[in-house]
Amino acid sequence: MKLKKDFSIQKARRQELVKTIQNDQDVADGSLVLLVAGFENDRTAFWQESSFFYYTGITEAATALTLDFEDKTSLYIPNCGDVREKWIYSSISLTQENAKQLGVDEVTVLGDRCAGYQLFPFFKAESYGHIIAWLKKIVADDAQLFTLYPANEHEYVEQRLVMNHLCDFVPGLKERIVDISSIVAEMRRQKDMDEIAKISKAIEITELAHEAAAQSIKKGMLECEVQASLEYMMVGAESRASFPSIVATGKNATVLHYTANNAELKDGDLVVVDIGSVFEGYCSDLTRTYPVSGKFTARQKELYNLVLDVQSYIADLAKPGMYLRSNEHPEESLHHLALQYFKKYGYEKYFIHGLGHFLGLDVHDVGDVSIPLKENDVFTIEPGLYIPEEGIGIRIEDDYWMAKKGCISLSENLPKSVEEIEALVQQQFDDTGDIDDTVDFSDIGKTEH
């Protein structure tokens, strides 16, 4: 079967990973790198585990990849027998025939035939028999197993489950595990041009979604109706939300990860729309704050412009060598400098979250914020003010790419000034202040208010 996709980037990344491990450690003979894909579940659409995707380009669940230090790469797939193709859509066929194009030396099964077409982190030993045979050899040879097993238990949870489960089958394996998550994080932090292009495409889709959101905002609409308008654009663009869309009006906007999205929009209130979409695995994350009436009040405008000033002040300061956030170096930490700016106006206690995060295959991408910023980092700058007693939440978030001398906004096409935001919301109003032409979701089932 002919493959359209090119897997050479992933192959080069794996070679760099192996080289970095070798520079970092004394690698014993017979050692292995093991990367494990994510697993499907019934509650959410499957989305490949990001580091596995980064090094393989493979989007199928429950697969695994081993690299030895003699340049042999094996891709393992669950042994689902002949029902596999009846259940699993795969844009590429993972067969030995395609191994060369997949950039691996062999494509084989993980072990014996598994009961269904899915495989879960608590598989039977026989289903992983081929990997387990390798792992037993690692223990016998006193070699190392390099894999994603960080001390921080919030990361790589499924991978940790798989490793713990494998350790139950292979006595002595736990002591042979060497965590590679910080090497992987440093590699993933540095985006190449292909990744920048994909993030930019994800940003373009989110810009369209924001325009749709702004044009569906008017008094009487529900937050979920605005959400439906913007997600319609994402799905239509063959994308999806990179995290649960936040459409939060009035006091709801002071709850950072508000997701109920069921309140009614009221004249005089603001709406925070914090959304992102995905393009070929890469995420965007953009926030705008809109006035329901199409016009900011004087007080809202004052606060909005302060948040905007902080964002542009920080974007001007952000250069290689500065920190996204560092408690040890507050004078070079963008987060602390933003706090200082708010403090001048007496608002520091209303800025209640981090200034930004790395962006990539995950919306809160890997990378240590206390390691100085460097060229080809991609990150958000998202100052905000949250004043529950006034029912006001404001956040402005854009996505930036670090260049040699400073950062470049990747989302500058999305309106941001008070005048631009007001014009965008008002664009669909007719003379009565109502929306002329929009998708009507009013007959679709909703909760009572």
What is the Cα–Cα distance from 271 to 229, expressed in whole angstroms? 14
Lookup: tokens for 33: 């790198």
CB closer to Mn ion out of 30 and 354: 354
Lookup: tokens for 259: 């997701």
DSSP 112-157: SPPSSS---TT--GGGGHHHHHHHHHHHHTT--EEE---SSTTSSH
Binding positions for Mn ion, 264-323, rule CB under 5 A: 285
Q: How far is the CB of 397 from ligand GLY (least distance, A)?
A: 7
CB closer to Mn ion out of 397 and 422: 397
What is the Cα–Cα distance from 375 to 316, expressed in whole angstroms? 15
Q: Are 183 and 24 in contact (CB under 8 A)?
A: yes
Name residues whose C-beta falls within 8 Å of residue 165's C-beta, 6 or more positions apart in sequence.
Answer: 121, 122, 123
What is the Cα–Cα distance from 8 to 12, expressed in whole angstroms? 6
223 touches ligand GLY (CB under 6 A)? no
Draw the binding track, 406-425, toward ligand GLY (x: CB under 6 A; -: no contact): --------------------
Binding positions for ligand GLY, 309-368, rule CB under 6 A: none
Q: Which does 229 bind (CB under 5 to 8 A by kind): ligand GLY, Mn ion, none?
A: none
Q: How far is the CB of 371 from Mn ion (least distance, A)?
A: 19
- Report the b/e string of 149-170 with b at 16+ CB within 10 A: bbeeeebbebbbebbeebbebb
399 touches ligand GLY (CB under 6 A)? no
CB closer to Mn ion out of 333 and 380: 380
Q: How far is the CB of 259 from ligand GLY (least distance, A)?
A: 11
285 touches ligand GLY (CB under 6 A)? yes
Name residues whose C-beta falls within 8 Å of residue 349's C-beta, 6 or more positions apart in sequence.
Answer: none
Q: How far is the CB of 435 from Mn ion (least distance, A)?
A: 28
DSSP run (H or E) holding 248 = strand 246-249
Among 380, 399, 421, 422, binds Mn ion (CB under 5 A): 380
Eight-state DSSP code of residue 186 = H
Query: Hey, what amino acid is at 238?
Result: E
Name residues whose C-beta falls within 8 Å of residue 389's C-beta, 6 or more positions apart in sequence.
Answer: none
CB closer to ligand GLY out of 211 and 274: 274
CB closer to ligand GLY out of 207 and 422: 207
CB closer to Mn ion out of 245 and 380: 380
Q: Which does 269 bind (CB under 5 to 8 A by kind): ligand GLY, Mn ion, none?
A: none
With CB atoms as reference, the residue minimizing the distance to Mn ion is 285
> Which residue(s) pair with 249 in the sheet?
271
Q: Which of 250, 210, 217 is nearest to 232 (CA)?
A: 210
Q: Which does 46 bind (CB under 5 to 8 A by kind): ligand GLY, Mn ion, none?
A: none
274 touches ligand GLY (CB under 6 A)? yes
Greatest Cα pair distance in the chain: 80
Draw the binding track, 238-257, toward ligand GLY (x: CB under 6 A; -: no contact): -----x--------------
204 touches ligand GLY (CB under 6 A)? no
Q: Which does 429 bind (CB under 5 to 8 A by kind): Mn ion, ligand GLY, none?
A: none
What is the Cα–Cα distance from 32 to 327, expressed in whole angstroms? 37
Q: How far is the CB of 192 from Mn ion (least distance, A)?
A: 22
CB closer to ligand GLY out of 243 and 313: 243
Draw the binding track, 132-171, toward ligand GLY (x: CB under 6 A; -: no contact): ----------------------------------------
Name residues whose C-beta falls within 8 Å of residue 274's C-beta, 6 or more positions apart in sequence.
Answer: 245, 246, 248, 285, 286, 287, 395, 397
Q: Are 14 and 38 in contact (CB under 8 A)?
A: no
CB closer to ligand GLY out of 17 and 314: 314
CB closer to Mn ion out of 40 and 377: 377
Q: Which does 225 bind (CB under 5 to 8 A by kind): ligand GLY, Mn ion, none?
A: none
Backbone angles phi, psi at 45, to 5 degrees: -65, 145
Please report, as ranges, the residues that interact with ligand GLY according to CB under 6 A.
243, 274, 285
